[in-house]
Amino acid sequence: MARRSMRLVEYGKPFELTKEEVPTAPKGGAVVKNEYAGVCHTDAHSADDEFSGLAPLKCVLGHEMAGTIVEIDPSAELKVGDKVIVYWHGGCGGCSRCAVGETTACLKDVKHWAGITEDGGFSDYVVIPDAKLLVKVPDTIAMDAACLLPCSGITAYNAVCNMVPTVQDFAKHSADCAVLLVGAGGLGLWGVQFAKQLLPAGVRVLSADVDEEKLATAKAAGCDEALLWGKDVDDDTAVAAAKKACGSLGGAVAAIDFVNVPATFGRIEKILVQGGMHVVVGLLGGDAPGSVPLMPYVLSRHQMAGVLMGSLPQLKDLVALMAQGNVKPPPISHHPLENVYDVLQDLKAGKVKGRAVVKL
């Protein structure tokens, strides 16, 4: 059995097409025949070595995988022929956090990350060292959409899960609650739909973005009110308009920042009601200067949660939610394996609409 792989041979340079025998499954592991592999900004960062060697040379990138099991340890729960997605954030497997599927918080900080630290999806076959990281996909979910769930899908899902307890608490005592989602790109659109599914009925979902077109798609995805935060809108105006849109409580009971630059952070802090939940997701502020104003968090009793992906149990919950058919994936374009590096360049240049996936 042979596989074609697009390997990272030099940072910042096109991948190399290699052909080799497919390795056999290790004890406790599996081999998956990839059907689709999502092309993600993280792959661009890995290919350009922005993670300082986290993705080693000779590695096959691509961490968003959906395919069929062709070999698996006989003791595993899943069987050959099962359609699966890969929870790509493997940890040490032995610590108490890994034991409950919270491998992104592995206490030993071990990173077995398929498609970053180890061979991943830009290949016909992938070897998964731990079969427990595979999640079965029901027939009601298209496989090209399924491959997106372990990355953008689960991140937005986890972000919404983080606000659920606070929103439920407020909604018990007020019929007029609103939440704010900042950023109406890919994550934001998942977020709007998950918020509508997971939050108590009647909670209004507000979406803010600098782009009018993106806000229109957020509306189509179910958001109740769109807030245009264009370049000509100053902080005071943006905050006042958002608070007004939030209704009788005069502010949002929870907010998710999918952008996370100092400006959005500061606005959210002012828009949240006392005791509101501030969920921070976006990495765009990674290099941004500025500091977090701590006192308002004390005086306004704001809570804050940082979100990096989600857990393995959450991915299983997300698959069950998607199987109900009420959440629509973003528009998806298919590309041949050989073109994956060019697709990455298009992604970096902002030329990819919706999500691009490699069809194997």
- Please tell me whether residue 120 binds Zn ion under the rule CB under 5 A: no
> Least distance (Å) from Zn ion to the CB of residue 167?
27
Nearer to Zn ion, 151 or 203 (CB): 151
Nearest residue to 5 (alpha-carbon basis) of 59, 71, 67, 83: 59
> Pattern of binders to Zn ion over 183-222, x per CB under 5 A?
----------------------------------------
| Contact stretch for Zn ion (CB under 5 A) within 105-113, 206-214, 236-244, 284-292 | 105-113
- Give the number of C-alpha atoms closer than 13 A to the C-alpha of residue 202, restricted to the C-beta side: 10
Please say whether the beta carbons of 179 and 195 come within 8 A.
yes
Of positions 22, 98, 145, 277, contacts Zn ion by CB under 5 A: 98
Of positions 60, 76, 106, 133, contacts Zn ion by CB under 5 A: 106
Of positions 39, 114, 137, 151, contacts Zn ion by CB under 5 A: 151
Q: Which amino acid is at 233?
A: V
> Pattern of binders to Zn ion over 19-58, x per CB under 5 A?
---------------------x-x----------------
> Least distance (Å) from Zn ion to the CB of residue 97?
6
236 Cβ contact partners less than 8 Å away, ≥ 6 residues apart: none
106, two tokens: 């592995």
Burial class (CB in 10 A: 0-12, 13-18, 19+), 220: exposed
| Contact stretch for Zn ion (CB under 5 A) within 147-155, 197-205, 257-265, 308-316 | 147-155
> Least distance (Å) from Zn ion to the CB of residue 72?
22
CA distances, 23 to each of 7, 71, 124, 129, 252 (Å): 16, 10, 12, 11, 52
> Least distance (Å) from Zn ion to the CB of residue 305?
20
Nearer to Zn ion, 129 or 266 (CB): 129
CA distances, 268 to each of 41, 200, 233, 298, 337 (Å): 25, 21, 15, 15, 41
d(CA 34, CA 163): 34
Q: What is the DSSP string of 118-147?
A: B--SSBSEEEES-GGGEEE--TTS-HHHHT
> Least distance (Å) from Zn ion to the CB of residue 34?
15
Of positions 91, 183, 185, 191, contacts Zn ion by CB under 5 A: 91
Which residues bind to Zn ion, rule: CB under 5 A? 40, 42, 91-92, 95, 98, 106, 108, 151
